[in-house]
A and B are shown apart, each in its own frame.
Chain A
Amino acid sequence: MDPLLFTAPARIRVLLVPVHPIKAPTFHRHVQLVKNFNVVRLGDVTPDMRGVQSMFSSQLFHEGQLHFNFVTSYEPEHAYLEEFQMHRRIFGVIGIMDCCEWSNLKEGYNKFSEIIKNYRTAVAHRCFAFDPSEDQPDDTKGLIMIPNVGEMNFYMSTMISDFANNILTEFGNLAADIEKRPIIYSPKMPTPNSLQLQNGTNLQSSNGRYAAPLQSYSAPDLKSSQTPPAFPLTPPVQAMTTAGVGGATAGVAPKDTYHSRSFSSSTLVNIATQAANVPTDMKLRKRAPGRTQKLIADLYLMAGRLPNAVSNYMFAIEATKANGDYLWHGSALEGLCVGLLFAAYLHTDLESSVIQSPISPTTTDPPSSPELPKALWADITDKYVNVLTLYAKTSSSSNDQVPPLIYTEACLKVAKLLACIWVAGGWGDDALKLIVHGGTPEKGLNEKWGLSSVSGVSKIEVTQWAMKGYGSYVEDMSITEQIHITTTLSTIFSIINFRRKHTFFLRQTALLILPLIAKPRNSPQANKPPTGSESGLLTCLKKITETYGIGDDADKTDYSVIVEDARILAFGWPDIQIDVLKDALMISEALPDYPSMVKYTTRLLRKLFMYLHRDEQVRLSASIPRIVSAGKKQGLDMEFKYWGLNIVKGIQVCRPTSRRIPYPHAGKKLSLKNEEKKEGVSPFIYQSFNKKKADNAQTHLVANETSYFLVTLANPFAFDMDIQSISVSTDGVAFTPNTTSITISANTSVTLRIHGIPTEPGELIVRGCKIKVHGCLEQEFCVYLPPSDEEIKRKEKEEEYNKRIKKCGLAVLGHSNHTIINQKDHVQPIEQENSQSPTKKTFIPEFLKVSVIAEQPLIKIKSTSLMHGAIMLFEGEQTEMTIKLENVGKIPVDFLSLSFNDSTIANAHALLNSSDMPAEEAYEMELYAHRQSVFSWNQKDNVKILPGSEWIVNINVFGKRGCVNGTIQIDYGYLNRPNTSEDEPFYIRQVHYPVLLTIHQNLETISMDILNFKPLSGGENDGVVNISSDNNNGFECQRNKLIEDLLKVMKWNNKGKKEDFMEKMENDYCLLTFDIRNVWHVGFDVTIEADEGEEIDPLAITTTIQPTSTARIILPIKRISLSEKEYAQPIPSLLEKQFVVSKGPKGTIEQERLALALFWYREKLLQKIKATWESPLTNQKGIVDIRSLRLNKSMLNVLKINEISFGIDIEDGSKVTKLSCNQFKCPVNEFVKMKFVIYNNQEKPSKLCIRIQPVQSYSDGIMEWDLSKRMVWNGLLQTPLPKIEPKSSVTYTLPICFFSRGDFKFLYHCEDVYTRTMYFDTQPLVVEVVDN
């Protein structure tokens, strides 16, 4: 029972003693049974037979109840108070005997008789023998057999009533004794060394504040009224049995010493005599009546005779007030309060009795009427204020000082009273029930509404009362008393939901208990399960840590999964938390309870490591193995999970080396097609449909090949962490992990490469790592997705919200507790709900999904034909290299594909993209980049490289200008596996072979020109032609020589005769010339070939060019005719890129047209010519780059055949001679027919108009335009011509007669009548008119 129950003064204390031997559970069972009968109605009490002298029991029917306080332990150190507060005394002893343990009940009873001798204050005793067997005779006198069959309750209540009667009778004797006493002393606290003090004189007690004279137990009278005196001085061993039953009695008081303080007659006598010496004898005598009244009132109170008690208290109050006997005055007031309260509880109308009492001068009218129940507690509080003042006054008096315990208890009682009222939601029957019976109040009624004002009691009031009882004098009290006070305080604060204060006192209690339970290490019984007090203490610790935010909840969230490192605790003060955990550690060390030690050590480290000094962390972490081994020695299961923070920060699949990377392909057919065409460039810059797969994000593992994982581990602690084993933990397909071990030094993180082999294709899920930290169980650590920004924001918001709705911090504890208490049955779901709180669930483990593909072949380049992977070439050189491959894998290769890359492409692209070059230049650049590849390869079918075998690949290499290196990429795979379909995606691997290239320039082509041939031709008809004044023969010779020379230079002789050449010249040929310079130091044979088409044999010229010399190449080339449609089309682009409007300077339309024409004619020309070189010494051969040759406008004019061309002839017998093309000699004064032949070379008919303008040109350059006097003509100089069909001609004949000699020039042109395009001849017609 709670010693600080408000109504404790109204209870009769009865000690229940086991009569050994009895089993502890049996004893407790019976104790519980007896305790059920702690309330006896006065009406049920057996009427007293002795009648007359009984003050407390009478035949008359009395309303009221008698309350027993059945205890199994009591505080002998408070014995000195028994005389002051009667209820502290043990009035009765009930022995509890188990019949099964005793064969002879008589002996048992004798033993009980022995026992009761130790409890001398007891006025009544009974011995209950439970569970008697059939054969045990019920004949022992005084022994009450309690059968376990039949109307046991009735029987028991009868027995208790009888017992009550017995006590009440004795109360009468007691009261009579008290009344007789002349002097009643105030209680004095026994000092620890009381024995010495007894011998000495009035010494000051060591605890200075309550300097008191010697103890003055005023017990002698009492003693005389009791059962026979002369008890043995030392109690027998059995006397301790109450507690001795395995120490299982509840409560924390030390039980082994209390009997030493129980009364012994000799002491009492001593004290009594000494007390007589106290000088203030007279005063005491005066005060005695008041005190007597008070004591008798106490007895009345216990006897349930409330009216009597109240009136007696009134008397006592009056008397003590008059005497200034503050202590007793206060005590009487206390008693009065209890009485009033009880009356209220029983709804007894005390009014009458109070009024009856002759003097009721209490200023505060006792408003105990049930109509004004609310006022009662206020009245009581007021009274208690008075009580405390009275008590405080005693501190000045030397004799009657209030024992601190009384003072404190008074405070605490009020506090508890108020707390009970508060929690019951106000003054009423509920509150009264709580106050009278004690017990755990049902929390929350009030809290729920938050209306402390309803009850009229504020928490603050409770706190103030409670804290009043915790003055500094408490420290001077004995440990047991302190423990009592702190536990009561913590209970009070728990009731009013002051969790911090509750915990504070709980912690205080634990610390106070600590020295009592500390036992020597290695005690043999450490193996046993924790005893009641120990487990109670552990529960205590649990509660304390919970309130400080470091409770077991903290362990529940498996911290190895929480992603944040130094996550700030949900709530709490780190300093205090550290201290509390250290206290907890200390206490569990004292027990010693190894699992708790580990628990608190790890919690301290995990949650507060950032506040702990490095040395401290090291010390704590070092202590763990020690505790574990100590625990193991005790045979405890000390395996525990890893306790720290998640050390795995990240895990990723290590990308294999480039030659092992498998590249996925969608299907066989598709991919093969892709191989053939070179990477086509789409015309769109941005393609939304064709997103390139970011394949670096996806890594494939290959079955049966070692795969590597990069694991990042971090150690946030200040001590080295020893990881005994670490391996990848996977799900999905079979995987053979490999374990390693590592030590992470303090405050660092490491990245570790661990490996394993997937043994079959499929999907492998990498969950995390299996890590065994030294001393802990192996555990799986996962990587958690770092919360996204949004997530963090959301969480912050949530936290903020939780703060507002009190879902975090200390408030949530109160809340959940409250609900748990309210619905005890649903504890489990609530906890689950708590654990599902969203803040804890935001961490999603990140499982790495890796696909494992079927086994793949692996090849390597065994050798190549190159030295050191380098090759040296001349520009344009063609050569061949070989690569020897070897299959080093386990399965064959049946697919091989080569692709190439060289350094020029990237450069060209960069140039193309960056600069804004003219289209023809760009075309040239593109051609260079793409049409001439450095490497090329003739694909072979039916590749099959079996494991271990070799394969040779031939590659053509071309010496491309400017190329410095290239890469050969070999893709291979095993496609035609058994049991695979066509569309199934497959994988290929790549081998890269880099080649260093050195390209030397050997030949260059420069200074091209195209010459017209017409002036040279045309003299054949006559054989002898006279040009101006020169000798005809001379001219002829000169011309022939020119041709001869030309032929020589052209090395024509090898090819044919002069006639052939001349013939070609006639047939629209022109001469192409350019120089080839040999810049190398070796001679080359160069062959130039002009291919004119099908019917004509290709013309080839071979010449040897010596080092550093230049050779001029002259080549007859057929003139080229291109239709307008052909040469006006835009310059194409090889790259199918998106059309971009040219930003370059735009020329006029004519310039544009010209540029196009130049481009297209050049293309045509270059198609015809092929130039190759050969080095006879080294047997190298290659091609000469002729694309460096550029065409200009004048060359174009020579090269091209116009759409409309002219042919001029003058016809008149033999007198007219043709000197050369468009040069004629003509006699004067004779009609000649001048014929203009107009050819239409176009594909379409054309309608033209011709204009002819004759002029006479003098040698000085002056032109004479008016020629009407010098010549006549028959016809029009300007006339439309008939329509000319394609590829045909018309002839316009103009008869003309020159009157004058001299040179005449005819300017003429045609104009298209529709398009107004003018067509001119290449040169004007010149007629030399001479005399006949």
Chain B
Amino acid sequence: MSDIKIQSIAIIGKQNNPLYIKNFSVFHPDLKYHYIAHTSCDVIDERVGAAGPEAADTYLGLLYAMEDLDVYGYVTNTRVKFVVVLSVTNPVKNTVMKNLFKKIHNVYINQVCNPFYNLDGKKSIVSKRFVAAIDAIGITPSDDDVSP
């Protein structure tokens, strides 16, 4: 499972405003992932809209592939979007991605539980704990993929 290589994790607010974008790639500039996350909004909107409100699954799967990158999406029930960009190596199992997104979701929930965090604010997340947690996910994605 450790063959997936996370290039970037992006958290996008419900107004399609960037909340947090982290670049784990050493080759690409940060902005590249900004663009990828931004363009993902189109696809996510469409997916979510097409699925209808009763769609239970928050995991959206592969949104699209661009160049040698795969873009995966996940939307919480409050319409906060998570976008993970992987570099294409081998096909990744959906369960792996689901776990990954679940972890990100947990981190985000922790952040939201912070009473000092303005949920509707348009500012990006600066919490150190949040950043550290996302970093942990991004750098070692395979740690507990085996356990669940």
Contact = CB atoms under 8 A, between A and B. Distances in A.
Q: Bound pair: A and B?
A: yes
A796 to B, nearest CB: 10
Interface in B55-69: 64-68
Contacts of B50: 452-453, 458-460
Contacts of A471: 65, 67-68
A573 B18 contact: yes
A571 B39 contact: no
B53 interface: no
B51 to A, nearest CB: 10
Interface stretch (A59-67, A494-502, A653-661, A1074-1082): A494-502
A470 B38 CA distance: 17
Contact of A467 (B30, B31, B66): B66
A809 B46 contact: no
A504 B39 contact: yes
Given A460-B43, A500-B42, A501-B39, A467 B65 contact: yes
A460 B16 CA distance: 19
Contacts of A450: 49
Interface string B27-38: 000110011001
B38 A803 contact: no
A1187 B2 CA distance: 107
Nearest to A547: B38
Nearest to B71: A467
A575 B46 contact: no
A575 B37 CA distance: 12
Given A460-B50, A571-B17, A498 B42 contact: yes
B9 to A, nearest CB: 15
A500 B39 CA distance: 5
B42 A499 contact: yes
Contacts of B16: 571, 809-810
Given A498-B46, A571-B16, A809-B15, A504 B35 contact: yes
Nearest to A578: B31
B31 to A, nearest CB: 5
B25 to A, nearest CB: 14
A883 interface: no
A1247 to B, nearest CB: 91
A573 B39 contact: no
B41 interface: yes
Nearest to A579: B31
Given A468-B65, A470-B66, A504 B15 contact: no
A453 B51 CA distance: 11
A938 B145 CA distance: 104
A803 B41 contact: no
Contacts of A803: 15
B105 interface: no
Contacts of A1194: none
Given A463-B64, A470-B67, A803-B15, A500 B41 contact: yes
Interface string B57-94: 00000001111100000000000000000000000000
Nearest to B68: A472
Interface string A436-458: 00000000000000101100001
Interface residues of B, number: 24
Contacts of A579: 31, 34
B15 A576 contact: no
Interface of B is mostly: helix
Contacts of B34: 573, 575-576, 579
Interface in A778-828: 803, 809-810
A463 B43 contact: yes
A467 B64 CA distance: 7
B20 to A, nearest CB: 12
A834 interface: no
B22 interface: no
A232 to B, nearest CB: 43
B98 interface: no
Interface in A561-596: 568, 571, 573, 575-576, 579
Given A504-B35, A504-B39, A579-B34, A460 B47 contact: yes
User: Most chain-B Cβ atoms within 10 A of its Cβ — which of A475, A493, A579?
Assistant: A579
A750 interface: no
Q: Which of A458, A464, A470, A576 has the most chain B CB within a 10 Å cutoff?
A: A576
A523 B31 CA distance: 33
Nearest to B122: A568
Interface string A1287-1307: 000000000000000000000
Contact of B46 (A460, A470, A475): A460
A1092 B147 CA distance: 120
Contacts of B31: 575-576, 579
Nearest to A568: B122
Contacts of B21: 575
Contacts of A1271: none
Contacts of B43: 460, 463, 498, 501
A474 B67 CA distance: 8
Contacts of B65: 467-468, 471
Interface in B126-140: none
Given A468-B65, A472-B67, A568-B122, A575 B15 contact: no
Q: Pick from A453, A464, A501 the residue with the most CB of B within 10 Å.
A: A501
Contact of A571 (B15, B35, B49, B64): B15
Interface string A821-857: 0000000000000000000000000000000000000
Nearest to B121: A568
Contacts of A501: 39, 42-43
A484 to B, nearest CB: 17
B64 to A, nearest CB: 4
Nearest to B69: A472
Contacts of A493: 42
Contacts of B66: 467, 470
Contacts of A472: 67-68
Contacts of B17: 571, 573
A571 B30 CA distance: 20
Contacts of A575: 18, 21, 30-31, 34
A504 B34 CA distance: 11
A416 B105 CA distance: 36
A460 B43 CA distance: 7
B68 A459 contact: no
A501 B17 CA distance: 16
A918 B16 CA distance: 77
A453 B21 CA distance: 33
Contacts of B30: 575
A1092 B42 CA distance: 110
Contacts of A468: 65
A803 B68 CA distance: 35
A809 B50 CA distance: 20
Interface in A479-515: 493, 498-501, 504
Contacts of B64: 463-464, 467
B116 to A, nearest CB: 20
A926 B46 CA distance: 85
Nearest to B37: A573
30 contacts: A452-B50, A458-B50, A460-B46, A460-B47, A460-B50, A467-B65, A470-B67, A471-B67, A472-B67, A472-B68, A474-B67, A475-B67, A493-B42, A498-B39, A498-B43, A498-B46, A500-B39, A500-B42, A501-B42, A501-B43, A571-B15, A571-B17, A573-B34, A575-B18, A575-B21, A575-B30, A576-B31, A576-B35, A579-B34, A809-B15
Given A459-B50, A463-B42, A463-B64, 5 more contacts: A467-B65, A501-B39, A504-B38, A573-B17, A575-B34
Closest 8 CB pairs of A and B: A498-B42, A467-B64, A472-B68, A472-B67, A500-B42, A459-B46, A504-B39, A573-B18
Interface of A: 450, 452-453, 458-460, 463-464, 467-468, 470-472, 474-475, 493, 498-501, 504, 568, 571, 573, 575-576, 579, 803, 809-810
Interface of B: 15-18, 21, 30-31, 34-35, 38-39, 41-43, 46-47, 49-50, 64-68, 122
